[in-house]
Every structure is written in structure tokens, then in C-alpha cells.
Structure 1
Amino acid sequence: MTLEALDLATLSRRDGEKWASAPDGVLPAWVADMDFPISPVIRRALVNRIDTDLGYPAWYDESDGGPLGEAFAERMLGRFGFAADPTHVRLFTDINQAMQVALHFGTSPGDPVALHAPVCPPFTEMLLKLGRPPRAVPIRWHDERWQLDLDRLADEVRGRDGVPCRALFLVNPHNPTGRVFLRDELEELARLAVEHDLLVISDEVHAELTYDGYRHIPFAAISEAAAARTVTITSGSKAFNLAGVRCAVAHIGVKEVRDAVDAHRGILFGQVNALGVDALRAAWTGGDTWLDTVKTLLARNRLRVAERLPEGIGYRLPEATYLAWLDCRALGLGEDPSAFFLDRAKVMLFRGSEFGPEGRGFARLNFATSPAVLDELLDRIRAAVPG
């Protein structure tokens, strides 16, 4: 089945979180999963692994970068010009686990962590559970784009209450606004990180979903000083729709953190599975044709959302991701407009309020589906909006 031929009957039979959680008659456009069939290259790799050997893998020692070190380094250099060290790569089940481990070894309980808001819900929840108080700095709408408030960030890092931050959690490209941060912005963040001796955890999972006219720059590529304090986290969960295979990569530039991870390998954190490793390696080494096709469709869908949204919903074209951050405040639908659209349009959006106070009055729409399904989503939204 082609990407554009996906229909509701086929999608409604899916048993993953996105579709299985939607009540009958409701179209889900909330969680960040794509509706597209898996890349044939990945499918072949998984079948080959099943047919070859599902016993204990031979790559438990990751001190040389493990089974994905070279693939990651080649991918970063070829796509983004980042000369990653393959021996700094370690594997985790997902970006959340990698973030937790980096904070566990790179900070102490009670250390505040700076991050930009709106914030993807699992990140705030995880920081609170780890005892690392989040200090959210709003991304503000200014000069027709979402912009970092670098002065406010500097104040939060220094610590208004006398307790400075020990880490910066960076999401670039940013979810949910879709911003791709510019070099001068990243250079200012790097200056701040060096000046205040911050551990930087850079979630770059949406990097390969950047649209024409924008360029992703890995934070660790800004300077040697930045690289030496940065843990870069990514996976195939977004660009290749591999969230369920549970395999993520952390490029750990901080030697102390890397050594601590190695000292606890296989004991405290568990290990990734052979299917996940083979799927991600296949994606990075042979999945570009599929990815290019997906990005072409997403680029059209991104414009389709702008053309078909009803008046009163604010929407800035995302510079990356397949997520539309919808400003519904002018419609007077309260703090949670997603509840209105679920009830009146039978469309399931992600609640903006879950991204923090900055998300009140907003909702997030996932447009990674076929044009026909997207049109049905948007038609329902238009029909539900008064006037």
C-alpha cells in the first residue's frame, strides 16, 4: 500500500496506542506516531533477524560504540556535518531512558534543570520523579516566529532563588512548536552552558524531519567545549516511525557520564533488543528513499493544514516535525480546546495544557497521515467551529 492510499478502514484496525485509544467514530491525531507503512528496508531487516538468530546478541560490550556507533557517526556526518565519535555511542530503550540515565549520573537530586516551554509532558513528569526541579523558560511568539528568551533562560540558570541549574534540556527541533534553532541561538546556549558548567542533554529525535529552507545543527557540533558537556539523544521513533521497537542512541560526550554508564551496563538499565538494533541500523543505512517520500508528503500536508483550518485557529507552519501547534484561544474554547473537538468534531487532538501553562488554549494536531484522512480531520474541525 502506498503512503497516500491509506484509508480509515485499514487504519482503524491498528492496535497501537494512537488508534486503539480512540473511541468508535473518532479520528486520532494526537500522539506522535505516523500512519504510514514501515519502510521495506526495515521490514526486510526484521524478517532477516527473525530468520537468522534471536538468541543472545554478541554486542553487549558497547565500549567501542556497539552495533550502532559507526552507523550513527556516518549518519551525523553525512546529514548534519557533525563529526561524532562512534566510541561515545551507547544504546537505550528510548530517549526518555537515555535522559534519565544522563541526569542520574550527571546531576544530583535537587539539582534544577532548565528547559524550554511548552514542554512535552513526559519530560516534566520524569524530572519531577527524579527529584530534579524543572525550570521552564517559555518560548515566546515574537516577530512572526517562536523565539527563545535567552535573557530569561540566563536568569533561570543562575537561579533566582540562589540555587543555580546544573543541566539544560534542549529539544531541537522543538516539540510542539516545530522550531529549528539557528546557529546563533545555539551558540548563545553553548556560551551559557560553558559559563555555568551545565550538563546539556539534547533531544534531536525530530532532526531528520526538517523542511526545505531550514537546517538542523546538532548542539554538540557548535564547538569542542559544547561537545564535551553534551549528551545527544536520538532514535528512529519519529523519522522512521519505530517507537515500538524500543531502541535509541545516546552520544555521550561527557567522559564521566560515559564511564558511569559503562560501569553499570546491563545491571541497572537493562538492554535494547536485537530487533530494535537491526531496525534502526537498516533505517540509517538504507531507509533514505522511504524517508524522502514521507517528507515530501508531510511537506504537502503541512501546507494543507494551513489552507483548510477554519478562521480563528492560529497556526505557524512548523519548520520541522509533523506536528501542528494550534492556537485556539481566539475561539473562546477555554484552556482545553481538544475537549471541544473531541466532543463536537470527533477528532482526538493532544491537549495543549499538558505541555504546561504555556499550552493553555492550544491543541496539537498530528498531520502524518494520508491526504484523504487529513482532509476528513480538517473537514470535521471546520464543521465544528462556530461561524
Structure 2
Amino acid sequence: MNDTPLIAGTAHPDPLRQLGLDELRRRTSMKWRTYPADVLPLWVAEMDVPLAEPVARAVVDAVARGDTGYPVGTAYAEALAGFASERWGWDGLAVERTSVVPDVMLGVVEMLRLVTDPGDAVVVNSPVYPPFYMFVRSMDRRVVEAPLGPEGRLDLGAIEDAFARSTAGGRRAALLLCNPQNPTGTVHTAEELTAVAALADRHGVRVVADEIHAPLTAPSARFVPYLSVPGGEHGLSLMSASKGWNLAGLKAALAVAGPAAAADLARMPEEVTHGPSHVGVLAHTAALRDGGDWLDALLAGLAENRRLLDRLLAESLPAIRHRPAEATYLAWLDCRELGPDHEPAAFFLDRARVALNAGTDFGTGGAGHVRLNLATSPTVLTEAVQRMAAAVAGLRDGSA
């Protein structure tokens, strides 16, 4: 399947159309080993793509040199700064205000340790990435939800109320912002982020932004780095090439500080920087520097898959509501019309042999929903929806 035609408007074939199921099932990662072989896995955040050629070359060359020691230098940060300038028009990513960390979530933990104390509150905008809850609670902080509004956008009233409650009695607090939002794929606007920064300043709340999905913003939307908005200079951000180029197994990320948060980042323990993979740093650097054409082809393929999913649901599963995402390769499906007697993720796994993420794992607002990973081939995506539609049809006629 490697002779796929070039995708319109790009210099590369669509990465999502290059691998067949037989090839994918030879993989040994979580996505392909958690469930039996008859299950189509459209759940965990892995993409069904080959490595971008510049990334593969960087890894192969490092192995050939035996270059598998400890990471050093600022090449990763320099590559990210160049990418941010070219893609987002942001020239404010200063290399001297960055630090390499093992991955985004471990970086989040270290940033939260810098700006909160045990027992303090960390505000999240639910529904949101489940590890936000797990990691925050494991470091002895309290999760306070400020749920998204009905249209899946930041609810400034809910955020202000959560800030007021979290800082009562003079306690420190932080907002763990997901930008773009996982699972909804919402891209927060400059106006929304500026308003959040103003509220954070008013209440003395520090903002830590998980911006791992930023490279996966659709061409029709505009990603705005939190640190780029007025008031964002007090913030801390975690960025990575991991999601954009499918590098979860090559661990590396960058913590980035706004100008007024440089002293906070400087207090991060040195041992944290010993955790990233040197080969991971090389791979991420190559992706950001030389993987732009591959990324453009991926983004075009994801846009086609969003349109395909929308059409398939309208034709075969109109009971499931879906708002196409502005970023990520995730789809947030509202399955509440199927009724309260069936938890949708469990239902589709059992009756359709399609693995999805249960919405309840994403906090308030997740009940009755599932998260679907559409970073797969149109063939697999079509078969998955057909299986789901058949299962729902059986439910309706009583055969399920």
C-alpha cells in the first residue's frame, strides 16, 4: 500500500493510506496488543502511519553511530522555535526559557509542583484528557472542574467561579489548560485565552498549558499559543512533536516559560532533564525541522477523514451527534440518544468489536460520549462505522 497517490495540495502521499491492517497488526504497541485481533482499535492516541522519512533517518543514523547516550544542547528548542514562527506566527518562544523534560505529562507534573503546594487546587476544563485527573491526584493536589460550555468552548463564568473557590483562604492554585482541547478538538481563540489570562491574574492563579496537539491544528483553524496572548507571560507551556508525528515511544518534550515565569522554570530540579530519550530528542528535532511536508499531508488526510466520518454518521448512525474537530485526530461522539441502558464504549466493543475511549473517563460532560481516533485509513474508519451501525440496528430491532 505504499504506492498511494499524492494528496491534493501536498508534496507527499497521505500517511493514513500507506499501511494495511496486516502490517499494522504486526505492531506491538498498546493500540495493537490490548484487544483481540478481531477488534478494530480506534482508541488510544497512536496513528496508523509510517514514520516521516526525516524522522526515520534521524533514528536510523543515530543507531548506526551508536549515538544512544544522554541528551544535551538546545537543538530541540531551536527547532520548535522555528516551527512556532513559521506555523503559528509566534516569535516569542525563547530558547533560553525552555527545558527538555521526559514527556508532556511528566513535564506538567513538574510545572505544577513549581506553582502549587500539596492540597492546592488544579482547575481543569472538562471533558478533558483523563491523565489530567490521575496525575494531579497522584501528586496530592485537588482537581476542580470548570466544565466547557454547551458548544464545547471555554466557559469563562465557570472558570472564574472555579478560580474563586480554589484560591479561597489564600491558597495557591493553577489552571491546567488543554490547548487544543482533548477530546473535543476545540481550538481556543486568542480572545478566549486572553480572557483566561486576565482571570488568572485577577485571582492569582498560574496557568500551565498542555499544547501537545498544537501541530495537529486543521488548516481551517488558527492555533494560538497561550504564552503569546496578553497576560500569558506568567504562564508555562508543555510542547512536543509527539502527537503530530506519532512519536509516543520516543520520549521527549519541552517545557516553555513565559517571560515572567522564567524564574519558576529555573527552579525545576536538574534531574528532571535526565529523563528524556536522546534518540527521542533527535527524532523530535528532525520532525520539527524537516517534517513539515509530511505533516501537511497528514493534516490533509485528517481533514478528509473528518468529512468521511461526518458523512458516514449522517448516513448510517444519525442518532450519534458529532461536531468535526478543529484540531487533533480525535472525534468526540455524542451517543446519548442510544439510551441510558448502554455505556456506549462497552456496547461498541462488545457488539461491534470496535474499541473506543469511554466518555466517562474524561470527567464531567463525558457521560454518554465516546472518543474515536480517526488517524487511520479511510477503509478502517468506514468498516468501524459500519460495524457500529450494525450494532445499533440490532439494538433497535431487539436482536442485540
TM-score, L = length of structure 1? 0.93
1:110-152: CA deviations, max 9, x gaps?
Answer: 11111100121111011111111011111122xxx32221111
Letter in 2 for 1:131: D
213 and 165 in structure 1: CA distance in 2 versus 1, 3 angstrom threshold: farther
**What's the RMSD between the two structures over aligned residues?**
1.7
In the alignment, which of 150, 156, 160 is matched to residue 150 of structure 1? 156
Which consecutive segments of 4 or more residues in structure 1 shift more than 4 A? none
Partner of 2:178: 171
Deviation of 1:160 (Å):
7.0
* Number of residue equivalences: 374
Partner of 1:326: 333
Partner of 2:298: 294
1:141-198: CA deviations, max 9, x gaps?
Answer: 2xxx322211111011011793555111110110001101111111100101111222
Contact kept in structure 2, 1:336 and 1:352, CA below 8 Å: no
1:72-107: CA deviations, max 9, x gaps?
Answer: 211112211222111111111111100010111221
Deviation of 1:272 (Å):
1.3
Letter in 2 for 1:249: L
Letter in 1 for 2:240: S
Partner of 1:111: 120
1:229-277: CA deviations, max 9, x gaps?
Answer: 211111112110001101111112312322211xx212x5632121101
Partner of 2:109: 100
Q: Secondary structure at the match of 2:249?
A: helix
Partner of 1:76: 84
Partner of 1:51: 64
Contact kept in structure 1, 2:117 and 2:172, CA below 8 Å: no
Q: Secondary structure at the match of 2:187?
A: coil
In the alignment, which of 66, 91, 94 is matched to residue 100 of structure 2? 91
Q: Secondary structure at the match of 1:326?
A: strand
Q: Secondary structure at the match of 2:243?
A: coil
Deviation of 1:51 (Å):
1.6
Contact kept in structure 2, 1:68 and 1:89, CA below 8 Å: no
Equivalents in 1 of 2:84, 2:71: separation in Å? 25
Asked whether 1:308 is paired with 2:312, we answer yes
The percent of aligned pairs where both chains have the same amino acid is: 37
1:6-64: CA deviations, max 9, x gaps?
Answer: 222111111100111121300000101101111011000111111224253472xx6xx
Contact kept in structure 1, 2:119 and 2:142, CA below 8 Å: yes
Equivalents in 1 of 2:81, 2:112: separation in Å? 23
Partner of 2:10: none
Structure 1, unaligned runs of 5 or more:
none
Letter in 2 for 1:46: V
Equivalents in 2 of 1:79, 1:347: separation in Å? 35
335 and 344 in structure 1: CA distance in 2 versus 1, 3 angstrom threshold: closer
In the alignment, which of 370, 373, 376 is matched to residue 366 of structure 1? 373
Asked whether 1:241 is paired with 2:249, we answer no
Equivalents in 1 of 2:42, 2:128: separation in Å? 19
The worse-fitting range, judged by mean Cα deviation, of 357-366 and 248-257 is 248-257
The worse-fitting range, judged by mean Cα deviation, of 244-253 and 338-347 is 244-253
Q: Secondary structure at the match of 2:82?
A: helix
Letter in 2 for 1:226: G
Letter in 1 for 2:362: F
Partner of 1:250: 255
Equivalents in 1 of 2:37, 2:69: separation in Å? 42
Letter in 2 for 1:81: G
Equivalents in 1 of 2:25, 2:228: separation in Å? 42
Contact kept in structure 2, 1:346 and 1:380, CA below 8 Å: yes
Partner of 2:8: none
In the alignment, which of 377, 385, 388 is matched to residue 378 of structure 1? 385
Partner of 1:28: 41
